[in-house]
Structure 1
Amino acid sequence: MPGKSSAGKQPRQHTDHDGHEGGGHPANHQDNTGMNQGVMDHSRMDHSKMDHSQMNYKGMDHSKMGHGGHDHGAMIADFLRRFWICLVLSVPVVALSMMFQDLVGYHLDFPYREPLVVVLASVIYVYGGWPFLTGMIDELRIRQSGSPRPGMMTLVAVAITAAYAYSVAVSFGWLQGMDFFWELATLIDIMLLGHYLEMKSVAGASRSLELIVQMLPAEAHKVDGDQLTDVKVDTLTEGDLVLIRPGERIPTDGEVVEGNSAVNESMLTGESVPVEKKQRDRVIAGAVNGEGSLKIKVTHKGEDSYLNKVVRMVEEAQNTKSQTQTLADRAAGWLTLLSLSVGLITLVVWLVGGKEVSFAVERMVTVMVTACPHALGVAIPLVVAISTAISAQKGLLIRNRTAFEEARKITVMVFDKTGTLTEGEFGVTRIQLLKPDDEASFLGRVAALEQQSQHPIAQGIVREAKKRNLTMPTITNFQSITGKGVSATVDGQRVVVVSPGYLKEKGIEQPHDAFASGVETVVFVLINDQLAGYVALADKIREDSKEAVQRLQQSGIKVYMATGDNQKVADAVAKELGLDGVYAEVLPDQKVNVVKDLQKQGQFVAMTGDGVNDAPALAQANVGIAVGSGTDVAAETADIILVNSRPTDITNLVEFGKATYRKMIQNLFWATGYNVVAIPLAAGVLYPNFVLSPAIGAVLMSASTVIVALNAQLLKRSLRSSNP
């Protein structure tokens, strides 16, 4: 169990109020007021030109199927078109095949029957097989570790070419035997249909990206003096004024300069209750305006908007290869080489064993078709597309998919306190006067000094003064006392608002009842160097923090807290939440040492913080989780970003990661397990009791792909049933 204070440090009786920037309060305390939940910069993206259909679906490199210049939607349509044309041509090829006639038990023959079948089969081979033939060429051009990398397209191309070449040789009398043009035709039909269904499934799983982009309107009402002009959203620049009428979607991130309205941000942040917006409030592109009109000033255009950052992160997550995906790629490569080798060995063995060439070639072709690792190639991408898309819908932005999958390994979760386990908004709980004075004037003087700071504690005091409609006197000679507090001259008196550490340094005795409550943060007020009183504040623990801690502990994860707050406050919060340990009074740069120490103990550490002061620790952790979506630092240092600040979102993230990894392993099992059984059957190990034909092999191969696809869809159901 970790110590109660940072390494090498004795517990100090100071609080989060101890030295923050600009106002002299602690730099170790997160300035949550600067963390704009609605503004994750990124809106320079031209939505009219965004082509998410061109996403690179790892493991299904469709750009190498002879359609490198087409977008994904056109490729899907092309495969469907080729399938229908080849299917129509396959009907006469199958009906006129002598092998099929013997199999079914009818006879149909006429002059030029065989040349007609050769012509139709040739069209099917060239037109229907073109994506696979060109895909084979592209695969063999790819260099991986200095050698060509044959893959699925190579397998299919070799199989259909062997079948076509052998059948043509038989038809022209160059070889004895019976052609199997009908197997060739049905094989190509099945492969085209299988590719179409797989591509459509992956595209469907990523449909959420297109839906996100569609949330932005194409035009905006630009205000230019007294003129109102409709312009394209992508022409807006920072500083432009835009009018949003009631019921319209907000076209760009901005700041309200005029008007009041309730804005529905549920599709963006998951917050179900419309948020009231007034002057100087931030609004997010894609949110829906309520009943009032708003005039906003553009603060982030195009690709800097929050909405586009969501899109970009989902794309990055879906396109980033994980260790599991790399394993699948390696397995597919080895399986390709194995199937080619087994196919050639099968040919040689049956020929040496005295079987006719047609039988040996048929066995070889069947091995190559059956062993095609198509299901293996789609096993991971489908799961990835589904998990990242649904996670984004639930406010979980996965920036690093490897870290997302590794959530299953987490043994220790380290939380920041303020703004993470607590609401991050301090409220005044007590005001204690130690000298004759009026409480209102006392609080007014303190607030006058604190309004110079954006620190949560300072803002809590200012909010209390405004709530009481107090007058804040004019101050002069304002100074920040680094790491201790602030001072100024008020009505000819020197007023100092400081932390407990300042009193200790000056040898001033603290009131015995100042820290009566373990959860309060206290700032002291000195007037003309005499202790005049103090103000106690508390940061309320989030409603779902305890549930989050309990769920993590039930999963076998130890939960610690690292905070800059004083030991007494930290211990009180830890006791209420039932934490496994506390690191108190640690500065931001010391939190990274907390993570390192835990890692040295062999722990797999996840760090959860606000993404600003916790940046070093987020970067050091095995999994960095940024709570809140408002800072660039969070986007740069964290692996995962939670749109909302609910601690239970973190527990759902861990559970999502585990569920996703389990589904990936299941799909790898189904894909490879199929080949283990199918390859020996295709080679003819059960001959003469059972012979697996190329067409049946293709059907079984497609069946394994369907199983993998359906199994991936089950992940969608399980994730959607979760309640982040």
Structure 2
Amino acid sequence: MGLTTEQALKLKEEGKYNGNVKAGTKTVGEILFDNIFTFFNAVNLVAAIFVFTTGSYKNMTFMFVCFWNAIVGIFQEMKARRTLTKLKILLNPVAFVIRDDKEIQIKSDDIVYGDTCVFYAGDQVCVDGKVIEGEGFVNESLLTGESIPVPKKKDDNVLAGTFVAEGKLIVEATGVGEESYTYKIIKRAKKFKKNRSEIMYSINYVIRLVTLFVIPVATGLILKQHFVSHDSYNEIVLSTVAATIGFIPSGFVLLTSLVMFKGAIKLSFYNTLVQDLYSTEKLARVDTICFDKTGTLTKGRFDVTKIVEINCSRDEFEKALKEYSNTGFDRNSTILSIRAYYSGKDYNWNFIDGIPFSSARKWSLLEFKEGTYVLGAPDVLLSDKEKFNSKYNQEMVHGARIIAFGKCESYDKDKETFEGFSLMGLVILKDTLRDNAKETIEFLDSQKLNIKVISGDNPLTASIVATEAGIKDADKYIDASSIDSIEDIKEAVDKYTVFGRVTPEFKLKFVRALQEQEHIVAMTGDGVNDVMALKEADCSIAMQSGSSAARDISSVVLLDSDFAHIPEIIREGRRSINNLERSGVLYLTKTVYAILLALLFIVIPYSYPFKPIQYTLLGTLTIGYPSFFLAFEPNDERVRTGFLYNILFKAIPNGALVATNVCLSALMVYIWLRSDLTLSTMATLTTGLVSMFIFTDLCRPFTRLRFWVTVLVPIVFWTVLLILPDVFDVMGITLMRFYGSVVILSIDFVIYLFYRMLTRKFFNKDKFRARITNWLNKKARKQAKM
């Protein structure tokens, strides 16, 4: 029986072996490429090359932002990749195969087509195959979602990704590697999932939008400075680069990466692996979360919930049952559950002989010096089945497994029969709720999230579990096999809470139906049957105990398989989004005034007033430094819709205020001083003052941290200008220049208040904000599917 070693080696050389599959995670090359070769980095690199030709290397400091942004992204994704690789090595099952007429143990990846594999109770089936000998029960929950084991006997087929719950199966491998059923499902989702982050998409959208201005504005500035101002090559390049890089909120890109990275590190202490930097944000935004029953709401294993003694004392029944579970041939899930229930109790009976469990007989027998006992299915062991079924029907309907236990008078091991069975009692097992499941559901319900349960189990069973977990409207359940058309699915997602008998294809359609109704969907899962839905969802959460395919495709992996960590992920996402929204106002204010000033100075008879080094100073001290502290503050407020809208609503008037300041400075210089260096100094000074006013306004209400940030920023800013004017290409700060900037600031502060009053009155509309948000989400989903 089985192949020879030479046959196995030949088949492996031909590629017909189990390990011949492509990984679902990104390769090192893909990680490096995605983080280095970005549109953001390309724009900054072109600008840096032009600055390099001028020899003014200090004006290239803006490239540090690109460098650190790439480093943070690469580090986080490499960390996630290493963790998943370790998990695969740790969880990679071994298997027993028969080669050269001997049973040997090998790695599951080394199984070849035609191998004769031996699977015992508790083993994972790692190939598709046909049973050629033996009987048992197979748990197919990772493929079908159905938690009740399926009986298997000779000539039945088994699939990779299932587990042998009871018995022993000898299987001929007929599907290995890419030919297995499991891989065919994974293949439909093997392309690595793109981000669907509103923050990331908003930033990229702004970068792409403002880049449309770069070429025409740069051309206009170059022509004006060459033919009108007659500036030198170095002056033209530096001022043009300063104008164009000011368009791009580069510091905001880095800050976003740092905030998300900090969140990933924090969540790692909660046994949560964040596979991409934007995962926490996506979960914080969802309004609908879909749970699987088996392995998510429940522990995914049967636990003893009740012991019912019938024709004996409790002590006598428990002694016999404890010894039975701790002795003998079987190590199936039922025996292990009973053993766990009686852990710590030991009576040390004298074992003699017995008959192991068989799925055909549905019972097992053990003989002790103290007596002979039988454990098995009630419908086989009991004579009065109708009375038993009527009494315990409700328990079975609700998903319980009932086992009968009792004594027998005699048995025949060769014929595998016994006589004189006397019932002692019943063992009731059930797939129980996870610890903290109710608390987690209660938190999600308090946050107004729609909760859906989609399971391969019986819909009534799933409904009972959902009710026990505290999910609202859990009594509204339906058999998904009765839903055919897309229109029916769209109607059902609104009408029902619990869906049973769900197939992988239905889960995918289910998620898409929710998304088409403008919902942001999170999907939890652990099996191969969840892969397609996990990939399609806006945020996907996998359990470490599930399949590697589910882990590879998901945004977040719960390393201890406990979905009670979801509230902490949501809180971390809220902190990130809310703080980044506030910090984003500072960065996009700079984008707004950079665009306005670039357009204005094409016609104003002065050179563009800023150089890259001055933008670096302003960006670091009046934007980067305060935003860094603001971004890491605790903040678990509910996320408002319209991330980009909320930022632009404040950034546009703020940017207009700064542009007005600089224009007034230009007018003052034109009237009195007529000097480009003076204009550059006044522009830097007034921009710094207005920026301080803006972030002070954003810091309200003040905390101790915010107070000290608003105090230290102006002190550091003035100190740098006074000590290092030559480094930043400004003149020494005199009292007259300071007074002039204060006068300008006072004038346009009135303009600012008037502008904000108009925008609040006419443009602060919730529907407009919601439209922008929905549009961004649709664009992000469309891009992710490309």
- Normalising by structure 1, we get a TM-score of 0.50
- Normalising by structure 2, we get a TM-score of 0.46
Q: Higher relative contact order by CA 8 Å / sep ≥ 6: 1 or 2?
A: 1
Specify which structure has the higher proportion of helix.
2
